[in-house]
Chain A
Amino acid sequence: MAKYAILIYEDPTSYANGSPEAWAAVTDAHTAFVNQVFALGGCLAGGEALAPTTTATTIRGGGTVTDGPFVETKEAFGGFYVVEARDLDHALEMARLCPAPGGGVEVRPVVDATSNPF
């Protein structure tokens, strides 16, 4: 098994004005996703949801501190999962089910730091 990060990129405005019921539906969808990962023979090795980019603070190489995310994009990085999968096909099978109605997900292999992957 190898680790893959599923990075969620979404337009944050799609969550901004939701009702409490809409938010409950979002969390339910993520709970269902986690169950599906295990049902597919995968494993969950981590994951978090992040507060909106309006709360972000960026520190550039020179030490300059600014308000906002490192890169301004319509679809912002909003959360991630780390799953364990047999191979890329298996990881993609899980990632396809990951809820991201306001954008999409990116799948990246997680590096084993004992060797340089670059």
Chain B
Amino acid sequence: MPADAVAAALAQAHRSEWAVVLSATVRVAGDLDLAEECAQEAYVSALQAWTRDGVPQRPGAWLTTAARNKALDRLRRETTLRRKLPLLVEPATVDPHETADPDRPDAAVPDDRLRLVFTCCHPTLAPEARVALTLRLVCGVPTPDVARAFLVSEPTMAARITRAKKKISAARIPYRVPDRAELPERLDSVLTAVHLLFSTGHTARDGDALVRGELCDRALHLARTLAALLPEQAETRGLLGLLLLTDARRATRTDEQGRLLLLADQDRTRWDQRAVLEGLTVTAGALASGPPGRFTLQAAIAGVHAVAPSLEQTDWPRVVHLYDRLLAVWNTPVVALNRAAAVAFADGPAAALPLLDELATDPRLADYPYLPATRADLLRRLGDAAGAARAYRRAVELTANAAERAFLEQRLAEVSRVAGATPGHAPPRTR
């Protein structure tokens, strides 16, 4: 078998099967670190075996069997070392979430991946540790890459992951899917981690590359897996819809120079129509499954934008209505700010300014660059160039993202020219 064909098959198997291989091995190893080592060794031994014998028909099953055998070998040799604190693996009982998977007769119990993701996103772990563990363990991303994604040093990230793994075993965080009663709350922690993963890739807050596609792809893959494994939980489909509809705009978020493009300036013909269509379908299904949660409502808002021919021709009253419903289930100042921005389109900028004044008193938004940026845009549209310039300056001070700063500075230069040409035109505003 040619070396590049084997390498490609292995890379593919790593992308699509890592979580299956690791989560099934945890069941045998009873220890996250040991399972991780064995899964990695299985991928190494596959390189040699597949080059010699060809790629097996079911690479995932081959890798799982290899990793589990390595774990059993190690356990036999190291019984005395591994006596302590085994991970709490529940016996494989019939579980409402389990569905028979004919493609993997000898591989994982189908919901092992769910056990892994619920363990990584356990609410007793710090939120940043949940995202890091999910990337490391569920997606198989090497620690140096996880560190780069979150802009921390490699030792810092390694320590964060080690600390979290240690808590899982020492405090006995169980390796199981929560029961029906706790599932919605626990699922929210999982969906939040996946959404954060996507947002980190999508906005790359402190970085220079606006889109880190790899992170977005990983998050999308996870959202797809969750929606497939827990279809009766509508929020899994809500999250998938939201990510699809947001990701459909990936190619148009920046111009050729890497500068940020607002929704108004994006070339809508370049939105990924296949992703839009799938996102709309998934979201419609989630909306039809009872009272929508916060991810489903955000997906519905993204859907209104996705079908609008232009910013002006967007169904803004519907967007405002959806934000009202979102505020009812998820009352945060950022949602309220986005609602105010929608009101500015539905009823005019003057109607939204009092809403921003109210939000400006919220200490949670004190350092949030989008608040002055939104105010600046409203004032600019109302012809108050001097007020807009002041607000743009404040937004520039607060943003850490190079592409966003470049955009704000350009707008600032534009309104400053206008303000300079007509001195005293606008009354001074106090924030």
Contact present for B170 and A87 (CB under 8 Å): no
Contacts of A2 in B (CB 8 A): 172
Known: A87-B174, A88-B172, A89-B174. A115 touches B124 (CB 8 A): no
- List A73-118 residues whose CB lies under 8 Å from chain B: 86-89, 92, 109, 112, 114-115, 117
A-B CB contacts (within 8 Å), total count: 25
A109 touching B124, Cβ below 8 Å:
no
Instruction: Evaluate contact between A109 and B84: CB separation under 8 angstroms.
Output: no
Query: Smallest Cβ distance from B137 to chain A, in angstroms?
Result: 18
Interface centre among A112, A114, A117 (most CB of B within 10 A): A117
| B interface bracket (residues with beta carbon within 8 Å of A) | 10 to 19
Q: How large is the interface on A (under 10, 10 to 19, 20 to 34, 35 or more residues)?
A: 10 to 19
Contact assessment for B84 and A115 in the assembled complex, using a CB-CB cutoff below 8 Å: yes
In the complex, the answer to whether A117 meets B124 with C-beta atoms within 8 Å is: no
Q: How far is A114 from B124 in the complex, measured between Cα atoms in Å?
A: 26
Inter-chain CA distance A104–B178, complex, in Å, is 25
The reply to whether B170 and A109 contact each other, CB–CB distance below 8 Å, is yes
Q: Are A87 and B173 in contact (CB under 8 A)?
A: yes
Taken together as a complex, chains A and B put the C-alpha atoms of A113 and B35 apart, in Å, by 25
* Cross-chain contact A88 with B174 (CB below 8 angstroms): yes
Residues of B within 8 A of A86 (CB): 88, 174
Contacts of A115 in B (CB 8 A): 84-85
Complex: chain A residue closest to B123, CB-CB:
A92
A15 to B173, CA, bound (A): 34
Contact with A along B161-195 (1 / 0, CB 8 A): 00000000011111000100000000000000000
Q: Are B174 and A109 in contact (CB under 8 A)?
A: no
CB distance from B165 to the nearest CB of A (A): 13
- Top 4 closest A-B pairs, CB basis? A87-B174, A87-B172, A115-B84, A88-B171
14 more contacts with CB within 8 A, not counting A87-B174, A115-B84, A115-B85, are: A86-B88, A86-B174, A87-B173, A88-B122, A88-B124, A88-B171, A88-B172, A88-B173, A92-B124, A109-B170, A109-B171, A112-B84, A114-B84, A117-B170
A-B residue pairs in contact (CB < 8 Å), sample of 15: A2-B172, A86-B174, A87-B88, A87-B173, A87-B174, A88-B124, A88-B171, A88-B172, A88-B174, A89-B174, A89-B178, A109-B170, A109-B171, A109-B172, A112-B84
